Structure 1
Amino acid sequence: MLRIGSLCSGYLGLDMAVETIFADTELVWVADIDRNAIKLLGHRAPNIPNLGDVKQIDWNAVPPIDILTAGYPCQPFSTSGRRKGENDPRHLWPYIYQAIRVLRPRITLLENVAGHRSKGFDTVLGDLAEIGLSAQWVSVRASDVGAPHRRERVFIAITDPACGFAEWKRAGPESPIADSSGIGGGRRGEPDSGSCSTGSPNSTDRRGENAWGEFLPAVQEWERRTRPAPWIAEPNRNGQPRLSPRFVEWMMGLPAGWVTAPELGLPYYGQLHLLGNGVIPPQAAHAIALLLDMIAIGSTENPCG
């Protein structure tokens, strides 16, 4: 059983991807301070301790793990922000690094915006080299796995070069496209089936005309890989259309209701915030599979214990 520790957990998108790739995993702890993430984690990862603020954790007191995941904040490196990098108060790499240094997981899997490659990435690689760890990285777009948007992200796998992965058995194909209908089951609970209906047309509107216009092929492709698309808009309290979080949830490759189920009690903007900061599980699973292939080429046949 591979034990997973999750930092900056959000809605657990990166952890879903890990479960897609590796057989026999167990999530043993999470860490997030966002109030909406805390609510979601309480429903989707019940009875799993939330370690809270990564800046305050005593890593010497944390249970050991095999796999560490972290989709640490992208704002310091995002092109949509001011790109303050290490000067941004949301810059959490020093604390992620301390977790890696103390816990020494067999593999650490990180996710961030593509802009991280040109800002702050040299620090990450230098810090890892100082403690004898190596990193492989790959950039993958959401559209690479059939999603109807680009959303390029860099994924990083950190390992001890003296350790191999020969005995690690993957749960699925080498380069899987995750089946969203299967994400979120088991110990994390199923989304409420009552929240799964779209209540709106998928590929055509009520008049039988194409409701998606030029985007129809992209929508249909993602539907084929995941589930029927909810409508893009919903009415606000004044009856005016606004972006539907259920549509964004679908775009992110999540099961219906994973973030938007009423029983979670998340407000409209809280849902969008979580979704906007989240990881697309099929995209991450594909990236992790690619990274494992890269690691396997140079690994030894004697894995560390």
Structure 2
Amino acid sequence: MGGLTIGSLFSGVGGLDMAVEQFFNARPAWFVEFDPAPSKVLAHRWPGVPNFGDVTTVDWNAVPRVDILTGGFPCQDLSLAGRRAGMRPGTRSGLWADYLAAIAAIKPRMVVIENVRGLLSGAAESDSDLEPGAGSVGDGHDGPVLRALGRVLGDLAGIGYDTRRCGLRAADAGAPHGRFRVFVVAYPQDTDSAARGEWWGAAPGSAESGRARADTCGRGGVPIADAGGPAFGEQPRGAFEEETGTNAGDRLADHGGERPDSHGREAWGEFWPAINRWGSVLRRDAPAPTRPDGRDGRHRLNPELTEWMMGWPAGHVTAPEIGLSRAEQLKACGNGVVPQQAYLALCTLLGRPA
């Protein structure tokens, strides 16, 4: 599988791509990210990999073919923190239509999608093949509302892709924050069991061919204390795992073990068990929570801490040579994906031990 390639849409700073790289032993062939700040991170971390910029202007028939498409399309109009405007044309979340067009044109062997909890409850607001006319399936007072996830799964089925989905928290992978996310994997409906074994590394067992299937993961389906979260184990090691991965699944459940730490128990107080647990997963102690770089030397939140909480390599967005402002660093962390969480979702959905 070493020759597998990834095409990344709505790439951000590559958190989801790091997990997909590790799981499939694949490499990025190209990115699609329009925001200048995260684009600097991509160029620094994956030098030489092209970035096609604005997803709405890409000719999908002209880009290099890839085996895997990844991406979390914008969540602003689905998030509980947003306007809940849905997936209408003209909304940021409506860019799902461009994601679908890419899948239909490229026909990848696997699609990996990530989004916020609002995907489960946000309304799709029509403009889907499942709603051919106003009032038919959700727009009228006499019909159920088509949710955003229903639209995504229905659209994928319409172009010949089966799906599996789950939701879990970053905390289920050991992180010291909740950050619930929905993950969807999609693959061509004619993918046979032999191909699945090649791709997924383990027989999926009770997979329901031809149907979108709800899978549980995290606390509902995988006993995290036993599985040890997304320990990379014997998977091929890349730069990401060398810096942040762990082979110590048994330590993930150890909430209280002391380790040498310049910002230890006393600095973190009641939060120490969660901080210590994540440090054990990453094998890297937490940076100082604040630093005195505010006006008149006032302490402010340290972006290096938010980067650490996201499970990214040290300096992934905060390295001075990348050139991001403090605000850009914090925004990148807020919009990003925890790779260990995504890796755990892939293990659960595709039947590989975590």
2:144 corresponds to 1:90: no
Question: Secondary structure in 1 aligned to 2:8?
Answer: strand
**Does the 8 Å contact 1:142/1:152 carry over to 2?**
yes
Give 1:243 deviation, angstroms.
1.1
The number of equivalent residue pairs is 275
TM-score, L = length of structure 2:
0.73
Structure showing greater Rg = 2
Match of 2:143 in 1: none
Aligned counterparts of 1:122 and 1:184: Cα–Cα separation in 2: 35
- Contact residue 137 and residue 157 of structure 1 kept, 8 A: yes
In structure 1, what is the equivalent of residue 35 of structure 2?
34
SS at the partner of 2:119?
helix
The corresponding residue for 1:302 is none
Contact 2:21 2:28 in 1 (8 A): no
Alpha-carbon distance in structure 2 between the residues aligned to 1:86 and 1:65: 26
Deviation at 1:185, TM superposition (A): 1.9
Matched, 1:109 2:112: yes
SS of the aligned residue for 2:55 comes to: coil
1:55 aligned residue? 56
Q: Distance between the aligned counterparts of 1:129 and 1:174, measured in 2?
A: 34
CA contact (8 A) 1:183 1:254 kept: no
Number of the residue aligned with 1:224: 280
Question: What SS does the corresponding residue of 2:336 show, helix, strand or coil?
Answer: coil
Q: What is the match of residue 235 of structure 1?
A: 292
Residues in 1 aligned to 2:277 and 2:229: alpha-carbon distance in whole angstroms: 18
Indicate conservation of the 8 Å contact 1:177/1:283, yes or no. no
Structure 1 residue aligned with 2:310: 252
Which structure has more relative contact order (CA 8 Å, sep 6+)? It is 1
TM (norm. structure 1) is 0.84
Give a deviation string over 1:36-78, Cα, whole Å, max 9, x none: 0111111111111101111111101011111000022111111
Q: 2:346 aligns with which of 267, 288, 303?
A: 288
Aligned to 2:129: none
Note if contact 2:172-2:229 (Cα within 8 Å) is conserved in structure 1: no
Instruction: Output one character per residue of 1:51-106: Cα deviation in whole Å (capped at 9) or x when no partner.
Output: 11111111010111110000221111111111111136212100000001111100
| Structure 2 residue identity aligned to 1:254 | W
Distance 2:229 2:281 in 1: 14
* Of 145-154 and 235-244, the range deviating more from structure 2: 235-244
Equivalent residue in structure 1 for 2:162, among 134, 147, 153: 134
Contact 1:140–1:153, Cα closer than 8 Å, also in 2 = yes
Counterpart selection for 2:176 from 126, 148, 164: 148
1:70-219 equivalences in 2 (<5 Å):
70-87=71-88, 89-91=91-93, 92-119=95-122, 120-164=148-192, 165-168=196-199, 176-178=230-232, 185=239, 201-204=262-265, 210-219=266-275
- Structure 1, residues 146-171: CA drift from partner, whole Å, max 9, x if none? 1111000000001112103222265x
Question: Which residue identity does 2:199 align to in structure 1?
Answer: W
Could you say what the CA RMSD is over the residues aligned between the two structures, in angstroms? 2.5
1:184, distance to aligned residue in structure 2 (A): 6.7
TM-superposed CA distance for 1:190, in Å, is 8.5
Distance 1:178 1:117 in 2: 29
Distance 1:19 1:107 in 2: 13
After superposition, the Cα gap between the structure-2 partners of 1:293 and 1:184, relative to the gap in structure 1 and judged at 3 Å, is: closer
Return the alpha-carbon distance in structure 2 between the equivalents of residues 225 and 166 of structure 1: 28
Displacement, 1:174? 11
Which amino acid letter does the alignment assign opposite residue 290 of structure 1?
A: T
* Amino acid corresponding to residue 203 of structure 1 in structure 2: G
Match of 2:215 in 1: none
For structure 2, the residue ranges without an aligned partner over 5 or more in a row are: 123-147, 202-226, 245-260
Shift of 1:202: 2.2
User: AA paired with 2:293?
Assistant: N
Name the SS of the counterpart of 2:273 in structure 1.
helix
Task: Give the stretch that moved more between structures: 132-141 or 104-113.
Answer: 132-141
How far apart are residue 183 of structure 1 and its match?
A: 8.2
